[in-house]
């Protein structure tokens, strides 16, 4: 079974805890995904806010 990581600011971020991601139609386990800590979520939000102006300035945005 594949274990996934979050991507924050272009880097893979793993967690000590994971949970199963399931196909809602079949119940099949698709893989294990990180159970992020509040600190990891805060880092992801900060990175997204910092990146947003450059993304908004893209001509294809």
Q: pLDDT tens across 16-38, in order?
A: 999 999 999 999 999 999 999 99
Mean pLDDT for all residues in the chain: 95
Give the largest CA-CA distance in the chain: 41
Residue 61 has pLDDT above 80, yes or no: no
What pTM was estimated for this model as a whole? 0.75
| pLDDT of res. 60 | 87
DSSP 2-50: -B--EEETTEEE--S-EEEEE-TTT--EEEEEE---HHHHHHHHHHHHH
Paired tokens of 38: 């509040």
The full set of domain ranges for the chain reads: 6-56
């Amino acid at each position: 079974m594949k274990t996934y990581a979050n991507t924050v600011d272009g880097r893979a971020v793993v967690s000590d805890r994971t949970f199963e991601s399931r196909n809602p139609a079949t119940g099949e386990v698709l893989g294990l995904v990180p159970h992020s800590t509040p600190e990891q979520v805060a880092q992801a939000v900060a990175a997204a806010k910092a990146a947003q102006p450059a993304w908004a300035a893209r001509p294809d945005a």
